[in-house]
């Protein structure tokens, strides 16, 4: 006779924050529920209960381990909905814009990832930096090499991290070392999808890099693969740079616009995340909105590479709103810190005449990014039944922040101080599936 194992119960104590609404649709001051002395009860890697410490403590099984982060903010782990793990070695590379940046820095770096051991070491760095910055899930571009995909998923599997990732498909306008073919990219992607998708917390993303580096035949192959496996995700880039848009118009003269290229090949819909989307026409916004496609806002990348300023307010409250998340876009993006990314998003919005509320910034970094991946029922918020990915933020992580916090009048001001002044030092701990994967100090 078999007996079921006793569920493993742990708990995290601290100043608990959870979203109960959208700060873009409701009063931003009303959408955060907080428990100043709260408890997140975790059972077998999932959140069992969230509430006041005084109420829940007596209900815990005897001997339950309680990680005490009293006085620190505890919220859902950050979700990075657009990032390139092979580009970590070229983060902070000088002096070029998009197309030149790809040719000078990105492609030489990515050419090394056919070496599995090299890819494994890079995956270790990527995951360590992500966890050190409170990022618990990411949507990741690998390289054309299947080895790069295996390396990332293997390392993520060890710690049980929720990762969305895929092999880049690229059969033109790239070095010989980084070109596949329409057929080989389909075959390799299908094999990787069948190997990894749904294995543990892994999700496969069909990944044509962007329209200029794929022939029509390859985009057709990507669309065909997605029709075969509609439960997979799809990720690519659009409308990041004005020269890029002109190039797409030359390469795909029969499509209505840049988004129209993907529309023509069946590459839009629920589960598709388009990176950047800075220069979208009203028609493109309507197609994105009506198809359920999402956009990743990458503010540090867009400013560092000089691409432009994304309209975050319009993406949420314009005539054609669409799912929008926040992303580091490392290595075009200049930081793994989601706090720094929120700061950059605030500054970009300011330059467009809109003040991004702190509740909106944290929402984009958690719930919003989970929504882009259609995973908002699993990650991005602290609710019973969701996966126990958490970040603990030390509100006094540096002398300056501690000084400024002494003058904070309310919770929102305190959170705003963190996103403007904070960095990786503010991340006190990171939990993946209930297990602590990073502890500062």
Q: What is the pLDDT of residues 137-185, one digit of tens each?
A: 999 999 999 999 999 999 999 999 999 999 999 999 999 999 999 999 9
Q: Categorize the per-residue pLDDT at 95 as very low, low, confident or very high, splitting at 50, 70 and 90.
A: confident
Q: What is the pLDDT of residues 396-411, one digit of tens each?
A: 999 999 999 999 999 9
Q: How many domains does the chain have?
A: 2
The DSSP annotation for 48-93 comes to EEEEEHHHHGGGSPTT-EEEEEEEEEEEEPEEEEEEEGGGGGGTT-
- The full length of the chain comes to 441
Phi, psi for 208 (deg, rounded to 5): -70, 125
140 and 190 in a single domain? The answer is: yes
362 and 406 in a single domain? The answer is: no
**Which pair of structure tokens corresponds to residue 97?**
């814009």
**CATH number of the domain that residue 303 is part of:** 3.20.20.140
Find where tokens 């919220």 sit. Answer: 75
62 and 193 in a single domain? The answer is: no
Q: Is the pLDDT of residue 393 over 80?
A: yes
Rounded to an integer, the average pLDDT of 75-96 is 94
224 and 266 in a single domain? The answer is: yes
- In angstroms, rounded to a whole number, what is the distance separating the alpha carbons of residues 193 and 149? 10
Which pLDDT score, from 0 to 100, does residue 432 have? 98
Cβ contacts of 389 within 8 Å, gap of 6 or more? 76, 77, 136, 137, 162, 379, 431, 432, 433
Rounded to an integer, the average pLDDT of 66-80 is 98
Rounded to an integer, the average pLDDT of 268-286 is 98
Which pLDDT score, from 0 to 100, does residue 2 have? 41
102 and 85 in a single domain? The answer is: yes
Q: Write the CA distances from 291 to 82, 108, 323, integer angstroms.
A: 20, 35, 11
Domain boundary among 372, 400, 424: 372
Query: Is the residue at 377 inside a domain?
Result: no
133 and 184 in a single domain? The answer is: yes
Which pLDDT score, from 0 to 100, does residue 131 have? 98
Rounded to an integer, the average pLDDT of 291-315 is 97
- Structural domain including 435 reads 9-76+382-439
Q: Categorize the per-residue pLDDT at 4 as very low, low, confident or very high, splitting at 50, 70 and 90.
A: very low
Query: Is the residue at 129 inside a domain?
Result: yes
Q: What is the pLDDT of residues 12-59, one digit of tens each?
A: 999 999 999 999 999 999 999 999 999 999 999 999 999 999 999 999
Q: Is the pLDDT of residue 416 over 60?
A: yes
415 and 435 in a single domain? The answer is: yes
Q: Write the CA distances from 200 to 87, 144, 278, integer angstroms.
A: 26, 23, 35
Are 109 and 52 in contact by the 8 Å Cβ rule? The answer is no
Query: Is the residue at 4 inside a domain?
Result: no
**Which pair of structure tokens corresponds to residue 212?**
């200029």
Q: Is the pLDDT of residue 76 over 90?
A: yes
Extract long-range pairs of 224-232: CB within 8 Å, 24+ residues apart. 224/186, 225/186, 225/189, 225/190, 225/193, 226/266, 226/267, 227/266, 228/190, 229/190, 229/193, 229/197, 229/204, 230/271, 231/197, 231/198, 231/271, 232/193, 232/197, 232/203, 232/204, 232/205, 232/206, 232/271
Query: Is the residue at 230 inside a domain?
Result: yes
295 and 260 in a single domain? The answer is: yes
- In angstroms, rounded to a whole number, what is the distance separating the alpha carbons of residues 125 and 1? 45
95 and 197 in a single domain? The answer is: yes
Query: Is the residue at 83 inside a domain?
Result: yes
Among 151, 139, 226, which Cα is nearest to 185's?
226
Pairing relationship of beta strands 65-76 and 390-393 according to DSSP bridges: antiparallel
Q: Categorize the per-residue pLDDT at 5 as very low, low, confident or very high, splitting at 50, 70 and 90.
A: low
Domain boundary among 372, 402, 417: 372
103 and 70 in a single domain? The answer is: no
Q: Is the pLDDT of residue 252 over 50?
A: yes
Phi, psi for 33 (deg, rounded to 5): -95, 130
Query: Is the residue at 1 inside a domain?
Result: no
Among 288, 233, 234, which Cα is nearest to 258's?
288
Are 166 and 207 in contact by the 8 Å Cβ rule? The answer is yes
pTM over 0.85: yes
Query: Is the residue at 257 inside a domain?
Result: yes
**Which pair of structure tokens corresponds to residue 350?**
């300011």
Cβ contacts of 55 within 8 Å, gap of 6 or more? none
Q: Write the CA distances from 7 to 2, 200, 280, integer angstroms.
A: 15, 18, 49
- In angstroms, rounded to a whole number, what is the distance separating the alpha carbons of residues 421 and 220? 46
Query: Is the residue at 288 inside a domain?
Result: yes
Cβ contacts of 409 within 8 Å, gap of 6 or more? none
Q: Categorize the per-residue pLDDT at 98 as very low, low, confident or very high, splitting at 50, 70 and 90.
A: confident
Cβ neighbourhood burial of 204 (10 Å; 0-12, 13-18, 19+): buried
Which pLDDT score, from 0 to 100, does residue 1 have? 36
311 and 431 in a single domain? The answer is: no
209 and 178 in a single domain? The answer is: yes
Which pLDDT score, from 0 to 100, does residue 430 have? 98
Domain boundary among 372, 398, 418: 372
């Amino acid at each position: 006779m078999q007996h079921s194992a006793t569920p493993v119960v742990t708990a995290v104590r601290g100043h608990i924050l959870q979203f109960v609404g959208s700060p873009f649709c409701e009063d931003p001051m009303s959408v955060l529920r907080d428990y100043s002395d709260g408890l997140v009860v975790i059972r077998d890697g999932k959140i069992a209960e969230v509430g006041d410490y005084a109420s829940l403590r007596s209900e815990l099984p005897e001997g339950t381990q309680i990680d005490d982060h009293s006085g620190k903010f505890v919220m859902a782990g950050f979700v990075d909905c657009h990032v390139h793990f092979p580009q970590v070695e070229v983060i902070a590379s000088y002096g070029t814009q998009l197309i030149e940046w790809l040719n000078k820095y990105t492609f030489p770096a990515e050419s090394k990832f056919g070496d599995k051991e090299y890819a494994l070491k890079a995956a270790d760095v990527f995951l360590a930096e992500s966890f050190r910055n409170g990022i618990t899930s990411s949507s990741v571009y690998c390289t054309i090499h299947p080895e790069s995909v295996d390396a990332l998923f293997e390392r993520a599997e060890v710690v049980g991290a929720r990762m969305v990732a895929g092999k880049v498909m690229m059969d033109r306008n790239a070095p010989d070392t980084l070109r596949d073919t329409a057929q080989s990219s389909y075959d390799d992607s299908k094999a990787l999808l069948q190997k990894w998708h749904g294995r543990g917390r892994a999700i496969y993303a069909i990944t044509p890099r962007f329209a200029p580096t794929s022939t029509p035949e390859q985009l057709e192959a990507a669309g065909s693969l997605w029709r075969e496996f509609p439960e997979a995700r799809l990720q690519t880039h659009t409308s990041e740079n004005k020269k890029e848009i002109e190039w797409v118009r030359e390469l795909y003269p029969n499509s209505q616009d840049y988004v129209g290229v993907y529309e023509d090949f069946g590459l839009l819909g629920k589960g598709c995340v388009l990176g950047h989307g800075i220069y979208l026409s009203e028609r493109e916004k309507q197609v994105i909105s009506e198809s359920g496609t999402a956009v990743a806002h990458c503010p540090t990348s867009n400013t560092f590479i000089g691409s432009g300023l994304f309209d975050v307010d319009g993406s949420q409250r314009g005539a054609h709103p669409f799912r929008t998340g926040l992303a580091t876009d490392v290595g075009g993006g200049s930081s793994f810190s989601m706090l720094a990314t929120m700061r950059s998003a605030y500054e970009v919005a300011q330059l467009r005449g809109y003040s991004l509320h702190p509740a909106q910034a944290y929402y984009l970094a958690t719930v919003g990014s989970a929504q882009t991946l259609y995973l908002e029922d699993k990650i991005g918020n602290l609710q019973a039944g969701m996966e126990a990915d958490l970040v603990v933020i030390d509100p006094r992580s540096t002398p300056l922040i501690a000084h400024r916090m002494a003058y904070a009048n309310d919770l929102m001001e305190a959170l705003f101080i963190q996103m403007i002044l904070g960095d990786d030092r503010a991340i006190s701990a990171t939990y993946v599936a209930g297990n602590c994967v990073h502890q500062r100090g």
